[in-house]
Structure 1
Amino acid sequence: MASSAVLAAVLTTTAHAQGVNTIEELVVTAEKREQSLQDVPVAVSAFTSEGRDLIGITSVQDITNFTPGLQYSSQTDRVSLRGVGRTSNVHSADASVSVYSDGIYTTSTVEAGKTPLFLERTEILRGPQSTLYGRNAVAGAINLVSKRPTEEWYAEARAQYQNYDHSLLEFAASGPTKIPGVYFRVAANWEKQRKGWIDNIVPGMPDEGNVIDTNIVEGQLKFDFNENFEGWAKLTWIEWRNGGGGPGARATWTPAPYPTTEALFSTAITLNPGYGCNPNTTNVVNPSPMGCTNPALTNPRKIASTIPYDVDLNGTYIFASEWTYHFPSFDLRYLTGAVNYNYALNGPTPVDHTAPITSYRLPSLIPGGNITVNPTYAFNYQERENWWSNELTLISTHEGPLQWLAGLYYWDENYTQPVYTYLPNEPRVEGPFGVPAVLCAQRAGVCPPNPNRRIFDTAPEFDITSKAAYGQIDWQFAETFTFTAGLRYSVDHKEGVERGRLLCYLVAGCFAAPELNGAVPGGIPVVDITENQWSSRPVLPEGVDGPTTFDRATGYAMRKLSDTWKEATGNVGVKWEPDADTNAYARYSHGYKPGGYRIGIDVGFSPNPRTEKETVDAFEVGMKKTFGGNLQTNLAAFWYDYKNAQIPLSVINTSGAVAVSEAILYNVPEATSKGIELESIWQPIDNLQILFNYSYLDAEITEGTAVDPADPAALNARARPITDRSTCRATVYGDATTTCAADVYTSPRPVVNAAGQTTQISANPDPNGGFQRVQDLDGNSLPNAPRHKIAINANYTYDLPTGGAIVGSVSYIWRDAQYGSIFNRDYYKSPSWDQWDARVTWQAPDNKVTVIAFIRNIFDDLGYEGGAGGVRRAGSVYTPPAGAPIVNSVQGVYSTYPLTAPRTYGVELQYRFF
């Protein structure tokens, strides 16, 4: 693919200086050696610190606006490129877009949002980087290059204030030390937003939406030992004390009524607060001024929640260093770094979309059945990681037609990802537990107590290693032609354990119906179902090392997981440069991402936790062309053959029995991604530059079948089931080996259990329902792959007669609709959207002072970071005693949309001391 050299050109323009704007050459390290961006036969978008200030690129989301094919979710911290990406927060499933901070691989994209005071340059390499950045770079790589120590004295302070009481203070300084050949740089940042973008209408509860309090402190040393040996080291400390802001916090909108069925999902394990909105409940405590009406129905930025989000990052240190020895004809470079990362997220459960009811009483349909419920339901999610990276590279530096590089890579990571949900106001879940002789048999009939009141509790711990050897040659075999070939061999190993415990509280899957909980011996409304759900199957699935064991003392289940993935990857390409202003090339790349496991977070012990590796065969052609010095155009086309995309999918339980969903990473057998990307910059008159960026992306599945979790019975008008209902009916009721699971929530007739009791019946039967039906995925788009994207920026520099300059900059962004799932349904679809931004910059004559006034999202329109999520709201269905109403039913499919920021505006002051 052609690089985004056009964008880089506008972003490196010296717009604040007196005189005509110029399109300057930008040097990048996309191929691990310094090269002009226009000469690199790789698809690269580059953003310099000066350019980011000029246009107003202040976040990772802004970078996606100006990078073809790039998508990013600030809530989940997940990236995709050209339809290839990671859509799961399961840490044992790797990212598809590798992020490198000063050459060190990192599992998060957050550092790409550092301010221009910290980052010299951000490079986005599109397409499989299968030789030089082979660690999971099946979609591409993001290189973050820090500003380095200077040999001359430098110091700068910046202050910013914007609406929502958002302030930013930062400072940086660098220069020589008293030790000859040793230079330093220090930088610090404090950012705080006190008012949230999302208004919580519950009295006394805080607002949410980018409520942050973050700090970054960074120190660097650069060593020039002699003319042959040099070194550099960086240590960064990061801390977040956020409220409802930062990765993981609430940034979504669900314009739907609160569900009043027993469960939000058919697999829920606790009676949800929204059940208190059911007319059969009494003594309801609901602090929301709007009661059981969701304020988001009429206002996308209003919520009613009794549990706030809280995002913290503590004790997080990032170390990186690079050491280079210059031999006469090559360099020996050693790059090493380590990270200690501690992230914690607290918030409401489930899925932030239920009435803020804190207490209610169930109807007394039988003696002893009148029970008070305290349904406040919360979660805690943590990531505790540490890793060490080592890379040794030999790079040719001699003159001649043949250039080469070779390297060895080793990565070692350990992480734990504990996640639990709990009922903080419900002491009954501490124990004792109902029917222990049945469900705690392996623990001598005794269920251990649960002092932390946790309902779902899981704690996977993994060790991950990645080893690779790679090499690449560039051979200029003719005056205008250069041939490139690279090869990498990778071995990725993952092993660890998952531990967990699962309880069931007041839901029909455990007790027939909540109104009958008094019938449970002793009136105990809690059951420990860990063994019932997480015991091993007779045949162990691939990647599982041994049967599940149970600890009598703690009640936890445990099993071991281990597997290894290997792959040879590489690239072949040819570049043609008939003149100094033309670079045309064709390139083939084979990329790979290792398999992983769907464990932790939102899933128990999945019967099939392992996933296969992904591969991509990518073909790209492109041209970078400059016309007369005032017009640059880059036109490119690509085609991918994408196999085994790892897509998170829930195989939901619709039987009404005690069962939880099977959450898997579904490997989509075949998909293609193809597109065209045009980037241009035009300087029609002095001091005026116009950037036009357009991309077309067609990323679709060509082979695959699955059940839609939001529509398991395939009742949607666009559903394409591969089995008709009559076949399912014949097999379900006449063949024990059927592949059509029953769906009691859409069944047109009662379902009778083994004891001959009528236990389920649909309140709203559908004549086409009753069964889960697999659907054909052929032709569906891959998630988060908008077909069209447009970005336009115009900036004009007015040179003041007394010196200095004023620069005006206006940007327009438009993004097409996109889906958040492999099922292309309206409930997974985010609409198209657009946004206008503007900035005015005043530059002092001596270049010491800069003042920037800005406004973003001028018209306060809704924007969408990615596709929507769709959820089927359904509870277990029960026929109560004669005369009592049916209280549970399917309530349709609701959508949740990931929103971009509202209108923000403010002013920034920059002062340079030296």
Structure 2
Amino acid sequence: MKLKHSLLASSALLAAVVSATAAQAQSSAASNTIEELVVTAERREQSLQDVPVAISAFTAEKRDLIGIQSVFDLTNFTPGLQYSTQTDRVSLRGVGRTNNVHAADASVSVYSDGIYTTSTVEAGKTPLFLERVEILRGPQATLYGRNAIGGAINLVSKRPTDEWYGEVRGQYQNYNHHILEGAISGPTFIDGITFRLAANWEKQSKGWIDNIVPGEPDEGNVINTNIVEGQLKFDIGENFDGWMKLTWIEWRNGAGGPGSRGTWTPAVYPTFEAANAGITLQPGYGCSGNATNVLNASPMGCVNPALTNPRKIASTIPYDVDLNGTYIFASEWTYHFTGFDLRYQLGAVHYHYYLQGPTPVDQTAPILRYTLPSVTGQNNAVVNPRYAFNYQEEESWLSNEVTLVSTHDGPVQWLAGLYYWKESYGQPVYTYLVDEPRVQGPFGVPATLCAKRNGTCAANPNRRIFDTYPEFDISSRAAYAQLDWEFIDTFTLSGGIRYSIDKKEGIERGRLLCYQVAGCFAAPELNGAIAGGIPVVDITENQWSSAAILPKGVITPTVFDPVSGFATRYLKDEWQEVTGNVTLKWDPDPDTNAFARYSHGYKPGGFRIGIDVGFSPNPETREEKVEAFEVGLKKNFGRNIQANIAAFYYDYSNAQIPLTIVNTSGAVAVTQSIFYNVPEASSKGIEIETIWQPIENLQILANYSYLDAHITEGSAIDPADPAALQPGARPITDRSLCRATAYGDATTTCAADVYTSPRPVVNAAGATTQVSGSPDPNGGFQRVQNLKGYNLPNSPRHKIAINANYTYPFSDGSSLTGSVSYTWRDSQYGSIFDRDYYKSPSWDQVDARLTWKAKDRKTTVIAFVKNLFDDLGYEGGAGASRRAGSIYTPPAGAPIVNVVQDARPDIAGNNPASTYPLTPPRTYGIELQYKFF
């Protein structure tokens, strides 16, 4: 019904625009015709319709016409493309990256003016900066070999002009959002050198997520950003030309930009910190009913406002998202020989990204202080639980590429090149207790706990609980060549090959403490620690010591520094692969391009380190590979219809999927965050992009894509349902096999899950009591599930996008264009488990624009509304976590037993807690553009 309602609404709106204008239309040259679009997708200028690759391309003019203002907007009109604004990660046709670990690579490469970049943010630059965005779908295994296993996004900046050009633009939207920008371009006082200078300031001071805690800021796109960009173009003699660009970017955001909150978690506040393996007694315990003297900052108390409103929160720790010292340099130098060009591209980037916010991000209860239940001899009962995180990226990289490109006429064209890319990064991440000075030390624990640090646990002046700082060097070298042979007038055979060497090496450092969690004191010699008033234990050695045999990629045992308290180990590996493609193209007439293409793509392996990871026992992930087959047709039917169709099939192996191995032992243990290599998967689909111009000045764009990306072989444990108890679970191991030996025996065939079976607890007096977790006939153990048939993450089965725009030309030469867009996206999963709690529903959206252009074309006014009906939309599939809240009150005089994860539904019958990545609410505004010359 929702789909039908929105279709009717958008159709009615379009009909109103067309009927109101058609009756008054004056004869004039069409302002929105189907035009030939030139792209550089294959490193030479070609008509989009002539390139035998599935490409979606968006010029600055088309973006203004349709209303493509962000990277996520690009996904609406690009088949198979998905993007997460929160994580700045992109996928194509089910092949993508869903995490921020820089020691593992993206699956869709982004090239900004020919220079590879690890971020997609630049694709969201306004049309004032970008001339064109080209999205190449499918493995680009020759020319864009670096991490282009899923595809490539090619960004082309507007360049300096030979004639003077100047323009300013201003935009104002609701939520007090405004954009001011301008550009000037033209000749310099030196012959043969032209310049371009552009700048942008964007600020939104009111967030679209309402924080109900008095005095705390709202969230949701609260931003304050600047861009300044300068370019020089050189024409030096008849044969040599060059170009260079330097961009400076700065963010001073609140809760806005990549990394900030953009999600909705309609669940009760957890009383246990699941995200960091239960190393703190976190704020939610104040809502457990066991605590006293609770200081709650929320007017709604322990009721999460997100339960009934997706855009309300209660948070006491504000976000801060900053980007400092960001410089992006790109250049291209070309010497034109007879019959070929020699091209050199040099680029470099440096930035420092800074993110701070609450932990866990989506469900932190707004509790400032509480008192634990009374226990004999205990003098540390007051808990200051506010828990925050700090995440940083300090990045530098350098790119060099030399290419030889044929320019002669003839049936054989060729291209060859050498590529070198070098990255160095640091990614410090830590969590800390904002109000708890006792975390600074001293820790008062036996010297044996810090034996490898001379028996002394180092001080912790910054109150950090989890602290990690990886530093890595990454390099990629490649040689490639492509040959195009028109062996018959209407047939061209193309072949490309690329040899790549990818190397990664670096240091992983970390420290781990434990606060107010009874499991920290499980060892008999530590039982007196809480009673002695020391609620903090340094467990770095206990959790991160080396295994007897070093895992793959780890080249040194873990060592411990007595001064800093950090553990350190070194990691290193190298991957090599030959990739390439073969394409057969048939063009029987100038309006037809039919092609068949085979590609072998690859993405190197990497390491899951930093961010939310302790020293994983198995940090390395294997390289991904894909065998891709594709057929396509690009066809113009006269001047009125253009249709581009592609059908594809992928055989995809070793997909690197981030997966959490939760701790279900009942004791303190680091939750492992790994890359799980899905053994086998497939992706197949059909994509249709059409433009229809039925009458002069009326243009209709209609896109449809079908995607079936699923796992064909694999098995894993569901982090939200480790015991495989939820309806629909598919365990491959029967519980009877797990209980091949006595419960709790070290040789049990399955890992224990103490939260789904009765478990023994020994109190202070040494007596054993039974504490019920969630007794279940099939509980008590983690059980691996069969993944066959489950979808790859963020792969909606169907996508629809329609835009209709009509231009009414006035008699004085001015014009008015009405544009309406309708998009619909199918449901999708945020995990490799097809479970309801990982599923985001299908959704649709209607956008509308009115554009007035003055007769001299110097002044343009655009009025717009996005998400006209204020519907909920979802950027990707949902995340999910095991619910928390099982409470055990110990006998008088016994140590406190902390709250634990609980696999049971809550009192309302809800399953594991889901987190949905939301699209923005209704936004509307007006934009003024003025060209001076």
The answer to whether the 8 A contact 2:404-2:416 is kept is yes
The answer to whether the 8 A contact 1:396-1:405 is kept is yes
Q: Which 10-residue stretch deviates more, 680-689 or 542-551? A: 680-689
What is the distance in 1 between the residues matched to 2:628 and 2:767? Answer: 57
What is the distance in 2 between the residues matched to 1:577 and 1:636? Answer: 16
When residues 235 and 734 of structure 1 are mapped into structure 2, their CA distance, relative to the original with a 3 A threshold, is: closer
Task: Say yes or no: does 1:554 pair with 2:564.
Answer: yes
Deviation at 1:804, TM superposition (A): 1.4
Task: Say yes or no: does 1:110 pair with 2:110.
Answer: no
The answer to whether the 8 A contact 2:246-2:330 is kept is yes
What is the distance in 2 between the residues matched to 1:754 and 1:295? Answer: 40
Task: Say yes or no: does 1:500 pair with 2:510.
Answer: yes
> CA offsets, 1:673-712, max 9 Å, x none?
0001111111111111111100000000000111001100
Q: For residue 754 of structure 2, give the secondary structure of its aligned residue in structure 1.
A: coil
Deviation at 1:633, TM superposition (A): 1.5
Aligned to 2:11: none
1:307 to 288, 295, 317: 317
Q: For residue 476 of structure 1, give the secondary structure of its aligned residue in structure 2.
A: strand
Q: For residue 244 of structure 1, give the secondary structure of its aligned residue in structure 2.
A: coil
Deviation at 1:141, TM superposition (A): 0.4
What is the distance in 2 between the residues matched to 1:77 and 1:392? Answer: 29
The answer to whether the 8 A contact 1:266-1:654 is kept is no
- In structure 2, stretches of 5+ residues that fail to align are 1-24, 906-911
Deviation at 1:368, TM superposition (A): 1.7
Task: Say yes or no: does 1:319 pair with 2:329.
Answer: yes
What is the distance in 2 between the residues matched to 1:16 and 1:699? Answer: 49
> CA offsets, 1:728-766, max 9 Å, x none?
112463964444100001114536799986477334322
Aligned to 2:186: 175
Task: Say yes or no: does 1:740 pair with 2:750.
Answer: yes
Aligned to 2:446: 436
1:356 to 342, 361, 366: 366
Task: Say yes or no: does 1:255 pair with 2:274.
Answer: no
Task: Say yes or no: does 1:207 pair with 2:226.
Answer: no
What is the distance in 2 between the residues matched to 1:112 and 1:698? Answer: 27
Q: Which 10-residue stretch deviates more, 681-690 or 283-292? A: 681-690
Aligned to 2:854: 844
What is the distance in 1 between the residues matched to 2:178 and 2:35? Answer: 33
Aligned to 1:913: 932
Matches within 5 A, 1:77-92: 77-92=88-103
1:23 to 34, 54, 72: 34
Q: For residue 220 of structure 1, give the secondary structure of its aligned residue in structure 2.
A: strand
Task: Say yes or no: does 1:872 pair with 2:882.
Answer: yes
- Alignment-mate amino acid for residue 605 of structure 1: F
Aligned to 1:901: 920
Matches within 5 A, 1:180-579: 180-260=191-271, 262-264=272-274, 267-368=277-378, 371-511=381-521, 520=530, 522-579=532-589
What is the distance in 2 between the residues matched to 1:883 and 1:189? Answer: 64
- Alignment-mate amino acid for residue 700 of structure 1: H
The answer to whether the 8 A contact 1:362-1:369 is kept is no
Deviation at 1:903, TM superposition (A): 0.3
Q: Which 10-residue stretch deviates more, 309-318 or 868-877? A: 868-877
Deviation at 1:437, TM superposition (A): 2.2
When residues 285 and 680 of structure 1 are mapped into structure 2, their CA distance, relative to the original with a 3 A threshold, is: same
Aligned to 2:830: 820
Q: Which 10-residue stretch deviates more, 675-684 or 817-826? A: 675-684
When residues 17 and 549 of structure 1 are mapped into structure 2, their CA distance, relative to the original with a 3 A threshold, is: farther
Q: Which 10-residue stretch deviates more, 306-315 or 367-376? A: 367-376
Aligned to 1:3: none
- How many residues are treated as equivalent by the alignment? 897
> CA offsets, 1:480-529, max 9 Å, x none?
0000000000000000001110000011321359xx98763622100000
Deviation at 1:886, TM superposition (A): 8.7
What is the distance in 2 between the residues matched to 1:731 and 1:541? Answer: 29
When residues 878 and 281 of structure 1 are mapped into structure 2, their CA distance, relative to the original with a 3 A threshold, is: closer
Deviation at 1:367, TM superposition (A): 2.5
Aligned to 1:596: 606
2:156 to 117, 123, 145: 145
What is the distance in 2 between the residues matched to 1:614 and 1:360? Answer: 49
Question: Percent same amino acid at aligned positions?
Answer: 76
Aligned to 2:844: 834
The answer to whether the 8 A contact 2:847-2:865 is kept is yes
What is the distance in 2 between the residues matched to 1:419 and 1:282? Answer: 33
Matches within 5 A, 1:28-107: 28-107=39-118
Deviation at 1:661, TM superposition (A): 1.0
Q: For residue 730 of structure 1, give the secondary structure of its aligned residue in structure 2.
A: coil
> CA offsets, 1:196-249, max 9 Å, x none?
010100000000100000000000000000110000000000000000000001
Superposition TM-score, scaled by structure 1 size = 0.96
When residues 512 and 762 of structure 1 are mapped into structure 2, their CA distance, relative to the original with a 3 A threshold, is: farther
Deviation at 1:883, TM superposition (A): 11
What is the distance in 2 between the residues matched to 1:24 and 1:752? Answer: 77
What is the distance in 2 between the residues matched to 1:301 and 1:426? Answer: 30
Task: Say yes or no: does 1:154 pair with 2:154.
Answer: no
Deviation at 1:627, TM superposition (A): 1.2
Task: Say yes or no: does 1:796 pair with 2:841.
Answer: no
The answer to whether the 8 A contact 1:16-1:797 is kept is no
Task: Say yes or no: does 1:613 pair with 2:613.
Answer: no
Superposed CA RMSD: 2.0
What is the distance in 1 between the residues matched to 2:349 and 2:681? Answer: 35
Deviation at 1:354, TM superposition (A): 2.1
What is the distance in 1 between the residues matched to 2:186 and 2:847? Answer: 36
What is the distance in 2 between the residues matched to 1:304 and 1:344? Answer: 23
Deviation at 1:580, TM superposition (A): 1.2
When residues 315 and 228 of structure 1 are mapped into structure 2, their CA distance, relative to the original with a 3 A threshold, is: same
Deviation at 1:268, TM superposition (A): 1.7
What is the distance in 2 between the residues matched to 1:790 and 1:762? Answer: 50
The answer to whether the 8 A contact 2:740-2:749 is kept is no
Aligned to 1:136: 147
Q: For residue 536 of structure 1, give the secondary structure of its aligned residue in structure 2.
A: coil
Deviation at 1:579, TM superposition (A): 1.1
The answer to whether the 8 A contact 2:276-2:612 is kept is no
Deviation at 1:911, TM superposition (A): 0.2
What is the distance in 2 between the residues matched to 1:715 and 1:600? Answer: 31
- In structure 1, stretches of 5+ residues that fail to align are 1-14
Q: Which 10-residue stretch deviates more, 651-660 or 179-188? A: 651-660
